[in-house]
Chain A
Amino acid sequence: MEPERKLRVLVAKPGLDGHDRGARVIARGFRDAGYEVIYTGVHQTPEQVVSAAIQEDVDLIGLSCLSGAHLHLFSEVVRQLRAAGADDITVIGGGIIPEEDIPRLKEAGIKQVFLPGTPIAEIIDWTRKNMPSDSPSLSTA
């Protein structure tokens, strides 16, 4: 039998915003839950995020933005993923995001938006339920 492939997650910080506490905590949360995690570090352009996602062959991208530029940056990542034919990669996001922007983000192709205070377990649960390739054998330690 082929060894089971771990789901690969890219945690990314698009834009000039340096607030990375949330991104790093989520990255660690995913890692502790058994996922393969790549973290881009801060100050990534949407192009860099998309290129890292393709090179690393990830299944899921988690975007974090606290600067108010989320509408443009998140949408741009999805647009460029589609342009590169990589729209099988699921994109989720979080940060300082007013509720009224959530429908617009979803319309742009962001599958889910997590607001401040969300427990890590809730994000992992969402991933389990919504990522078809996610293996049920992955379990939180």
Chain B
Amino acid sequence: MFDEKTLADARQGLKEWEAEVIKIAPDLAAKKRLSTISDLLVNPIYTPEDIRDIDFERDIGYPGSFPFTRGCQATGYRGRVWTFRMFSGLGTAEDTNWRWHQLLKEGETGLSTAFDFPTLMGYDSDSPKARAEVGKCGVAIDTLADFEILTKDIPLHEVTTSMTINPPASVLWAMYLVAAEKQGVGCDRVGGTIQNDMLKEFIAQKTFMCPPEPSIRLISDTIEFGTKNVPRWNTISISGYHIREAGATAVQELAFTLADGIAYIQDVIERKKIDVDAFAPRLSFFFDSHMDFFEEIAKFRAARRMWAKIMRERFQAKNPRSWWLRFHTQTAGCSLTHQQPYNNIVRTATEALAAVLGGTQSLHTNSFDEEYALPTEFAATIALRTQQILAEETGVVNTIDPLAGSYFVESLTSRIEDEAWKYIKQIDDMGGMLAAIDRGFPQREIANAAYRFKQQVDNQEKVVVGVNKYLAEEETPIEILKIDEEVEAEQVKRLKEVKRTRDSRMVSQALCNLRDACRSEANVMPCVIEAVRAYATEQEICDIYREVFGEYRDPGFF
């Protein structure tokens, strides 16, 4: 990017600067070890020398053009700002439907569903395993009846909905499609996302049901079904968020997520014989935005560049849309502190700004009280307002990829990319992500990073304000959202009522058909839709999966 003279001048200039620094600040010159939150060493200053190998056209270029370092859309946020998509769900379907209407009224532009643990794990609210968990961490959904209440008066032809659901993704997606159909919105018009990413569950989030191999098959079934029937749906959200939250570094988050993406694409191509360009444009991603501002921006930029190369070179995709890495971002839940919780508003704002400067398509901002419980409406509104302030007051949306060309940011982007390629190579050498998971490789790498970070915080090498520095003499209590204990009883009552009034012969027939589909190579989705329409419960459907495919047990690495 620079001629030899500029580089020589830069080297000379750096030497002079260092000589000057030694005189005025010997401490700085003592090369104090400074690193990002992920422990990548950083220099006090960067110069043209640090990006001498970067070629503008090849590595940076223009938004909307390969390798998309600067964004997938040519128009950036000038065309359209990111979607304000607040992850939200609590108590019963009625409670969540009410919160959704409130958020939309306050200017939210997309919905995102938080389910409770029984729903996430494929158990009904009356299961013994669901005791004390119903409606706690999100909304409880057992049957289509709940889903119809959840989406009541939500215009499903206009708003897109993301659903954080993994092992039972096919079931909740089927409920969405049938609920939309009942609103008069057909499969060709609904838009949204199911997370549907099981590999990161085995690696990090641990919401698993069946073993990896059949889990991947169910994912390929949904991708195939979406490709043929639901053209506006993102059938998977390949997620680094949970990998990061489990303690991974930025590089690990990026590398493992892209390696998961590679595994999904390979499976669809091999199992379903579908052309990569037919389905790749609907693959979407989900990343964390943590506290280290520049590291995160660099990670997002590197992610787009790497995926474009993977798709064009490794998978020979021809459609430029297949090269796009479109992603949702959530600010880092694990960066929130229990101590002095109002400080979390500042943390979230900083992380949100990094996500925006990194060019996210969609954003969730955490509420300051989420180290205690699900957010109150007050806290959730501040979180939403944080995004609106960034979008409408700060001017950061006016210029696309404004940090491009920064010696530091470009150098860090390349560095993160190089480190992530090393991991991807290692995983390829093991035989791909499934084999790597089987060996416990990503799990152990993350566990090591998590433990190292905890030690760094405990010995104050890394500062967490209010936790290991600037402690408060006394903590100010905050208002906390409580989920009514009645929710469980109400939910169980509704479930009983649904079971009493549905046509049980239709349910049995649908479940029989689903069992047959699972045992064959047929796509399960039509059978899941049939079962959901007959008001089969989520667990009845998932029990078929468990029966045919077996259950996965946590190997318990630490």
User: Which A residues lie at the B interface, using CB under 8 A?
Assistant: 11, 15-21, 23-25, 27-29, 31, 37, 39-43, 45, 67-69, 71-73, 96, 98-100, 115-117, 119-121
Contact = CB atoms under 8 A, between A and B. Distances in A.
B334 A41 contact: no
B556 A40 contact: yes
Contacts of A43: 121, 206, 554
A9 B29 CA distance: 46
Given A28-B558, A41-B555, A71 B132 contact: yes
A67 B371 contact: no
Contacts of B71: none
A16 B337 contact: no
B52 interface: no
B451 A25 contact: yes
B129 A16 contact: yes
A28 B371 contact: no
Interface string B82-100: 0000000000000000000
Contacts of B104: none
Contacts of A18: 201, 205-208
Name B's interface SS.
loop
Contacts of A73: 132
Smallest CB-CB A-B distances: 5 pairs: A18-B206, A41-B554, A72-B132, A41-B556, A16-B117
9 contacts: A17-B133, A18-B201, A24-B450, A25-B450, A37-B558, A72-B132, A98-B373, A98-B480, A117-B467
Given A16-B123, A24-B447, A68 B554 contact: no
A11 B447 CA distance: 15
B206 A42 contact: yes
Contacts of B32: none
A98 B372 contact: yes
B538 interface: no
Contact of A15 (B117, B247, B371, B555): B117
Contacts of B523: none
B555 A68 contact: no
B65 interface: no
A45 B246 CA distance: 22
B483 interface: yes
Contacts of A67: 117, 133, 136-137
Contacts of A28: 447, 451, 558
Interface of B: 117-118, 120-121, 123, 128-133, 136-137, 201, 205-208, 245-247, 334, 337-339, 371-374, 447, 450-451, 454-455, 457-458, 464, 467-468, 477, 480, 483, 553-558
B16 to A, nearest CB: 44
A42 B132 contact: no
Contact of B206 (A20, A68, A71): A20
Contacts of B373: 68, 96, 98
Given A15-B117, A25-B247, A120-B458, 15 more contacts: A20-B206, A21-B245, A21-B247, A21-B334, A21-B450, A28-B558, A37-B558, A41-B555, A45-B128, A67-B133, A67-B136, A67-B137, A68-B374, A72-B131, A116-B337
B439 to A, nearest CB: 17
Contact of A96 (B130, B371, B557, B558): B371
A16 B140 CA distance: 14
A42 to B, nearest CB: 5
Contacts of A100: 480
Contacts of A69: 117, 131-133, 136
A88 B463 CA distance: 39
B136 A117 contact: no
Contacts of B556: 39-41
B197 to A, nearest CB: 14
A98 B123 CA distance: 26
A21 B121 CA distance: 19
B558 A39 contact: yes
Contacts of B558: 11, 23-25, 27-28, 31, 37, 39
Contacts of A31: 558
B445 to A, nearest CB: 13
A45 B477 contact: no
Contacts of B117: 15-17, 67, 69
Given A41-B555, A120-B454, A68 B136 contact: yes
Contacts of B483: 68
B371 A116 contact: yes
A10 to B, nearest CB: 11
Contacts of A42: 206, 554
A28 B453 CA distance: 13
Nearest to A37: B558
Contacts of A17: 117, 133, 137
Contacts of A121: 458
Contacts of B371: 96, 116
Contact of B133 (A15, A23, A41, A99): A15
Nearest to A100: B480
Contact of A21 (B208, B246, B458): B246
A29 B452 CA distance: 11
Contacts of A41: 553-556
**In this complex, which of B121, B128, B130, B372 has the most chain A Cβ atoms within 10 angstroms of its Cβ?**
B372
B450 A115 contact: no
A11 to B, nearest CB: 8
A25 B136 CA distance: 25
Contacts of A119: 457-458, 468
A16 B167 CA distance: 13
A29 B371 CA distance: 22
**In this complex, which of B130, B206, B483, B557 has the most chain A Cβ atoms within 10 angstroms of its Cβ?**
B206
B464 A117 contact: yes
B464 A45 contact: no
B433 to A, nearest CB: 19
B553 A117 contact: no
